[in-house]
Structure 1
Amino acid sequence: MSESVSPPERTPEPSPGGTFPLGKHTVSRIGYGAIQLPRLRDPADAQRVLRRALDLGVNHFDTADFYGKSVANEYLAQTLPADDDVLVVTKVGALRTTRGPVPMRPGQRPEELRKSVQDNLRSLNTDRLALVNMRRMSPDGGFPVGHDQRVDFDDQIAEMVAMRDEGLIGDIGLSAVSLKEVQRALSVGIACVQNPYSLVARKDEPLLTLCERHGIAWAPYFPLGGALPGLAKVTHEPAVQAIAQTVGATPAQVGLAWLLHHAGNVLLIPGTSSVDHLEQNVAAGEVRLDEDALARLDKLKPAAGIRGFVNRFRRP
């Protein structure tokens, strides 16, 4: 890992998409997901993307140590300022693998959750993680897990609370969880939920409503669908394409804008390794959808849950 390079003086734009509380922080509603950052082999290219995100007002960065075998975390540590206004959110519950169609494997046992926290602390070069999402993997959700990975949800939450009490982490989030699991965890304080959700995949609407009622941030992954085989694509919907042409935006921007309009607790974390694509994502925060456009989009018939391959990533 090379030495950190301080970013130049900057005057960031207003928070893209507005702001919403995320744990103890207030963040831009359009953030940045670092999952594609390891595609950039040159650290200077990664720093260029991250610095542009900062300049655009992004202060919410989502990552994990298993993204590129720590590479994403290391790029973030090298580039982002040590500033309380910049929030880096990471996750545990999965481990990196290079075999099979899914680039991760379960790491669900309490001791593995703790090791993943330690790995993130190391690669982010910090002594405390501000917010950690615990990604749930279970055979009930279709993810292939061995018997040693079939861990009781309450045992996982107890370990996360213990690490919070020890000061290793600040706030606790959850990922790929069911409505019942979030209800069980409410008493310990949950800052964020990350589940697959988009205009064409709204099976978790009751869970989104619960989170909105309790002031819990909702940071959907696969916000445009189509990230994996079996997922419907928001950008393929004729209504989305027609509205995009009317408002002078791209279909992807309309899909992201719909999420921001749909619920006030939605935080977007689209990932990219391109400055141009980053700028397009952030510009979705300026897309205005009138009542007619929102009504047309709301009436779209979502896909039947999240079909096929993605069933491995969530609980029913």
Structure 2
Amino acid sequence: MKEYVERLEGGEALSSEALRSLLVMPDGDASAYLQECARRVAQSRFSTSVYVRGLIEVSNYCRNNCYYCGIRKGNPEVMRYRLGKDDILECCRHGYSLGFRTFVLQGGEDPRQTDDFVVDVVSAIRALYPDCAITLSLGEKPREAYERFFRAGANRYLLRHETYNAAHYCQLHPAEMSRDNRLRCLHDLKDIGYQTGTGIMVGSPGQTVDDIVADLLFIRELAPQMIGIGPFIPHHATPFALEKAGSVELTLRLLSILRLMHPRALIPATTALATLSPEGRNRGILAGANVVMPNLSPLSVRQKYELYNDKAALGAESAEGLQALQKELDRIGYRIDYGRGDYV
């Protein structure tokens, strides 16, 4: 296994069989060696810097009914909200004063937050904060919409493909959603010029090791600038309420594999990791991650954007908790970097 790790670190494209072997190897020396190499590669590119992005959850309305998601259209328990333009700009003002130089606008596919609204908001942020990066994570759109957002000043777009296997995609989504359309969106985003992010849920219902291998090969082909992976966590008001959460250990292993495959990528230690494990964020960074996304959303709505059970949104996961976050990073020898942290 160490040979496979060293070949990955050397830039070699491993076969499906080799990647599978890395995914199923037992915990032990080889697994620790994988994380050690990934950490070394990340530090060679980014030193001990961890970029912070200010997360603004703009709406929990969504037209989709994804079976895993707590804000799915079919969940009647959700206390719905949407932020207006002034609300979002106030979040940016507060975040800028704290030192954030990247804002991430994330939300469900809310029909009321139209493309015109997004263009207006992005244009306003760009005019007020020309030195900041603007990341959008607003789901599937026509290419024309992505082009309009880009011209308005958006720099990055996050859209996890969730699974490359078409049959598995159908297990996670209703019939009106299409894996092929999701992939079309990702290729459009890259072609337009966005720093593009994709990723998967680790341990989603029905997922196999071979599915994950297919995901790794797709990500290798797409060569995204950002890669977001986190463990699946069930939500009590979804069809997957009784499913088991994904594995923290497998998530960490995948973080390390992806770091070796994509040395320059921007890879977050996700909130889902921190939700499942008190040390999840730090372990993710030690496995090769180099981004965290503290929550800038108004306190009154943070608990309403509940994609999964017990989602962490306070403490070191919040914009107000930057001192706590730095103390946690101090323990492992890392530091907050407030720069834009663009893909180079």
Higher relative contact order (CA 8 A, sep 6+): 2
Return the TM-score normalized by structure 2: 0.44
Return the TM-score normalized by structure 1: 0.47
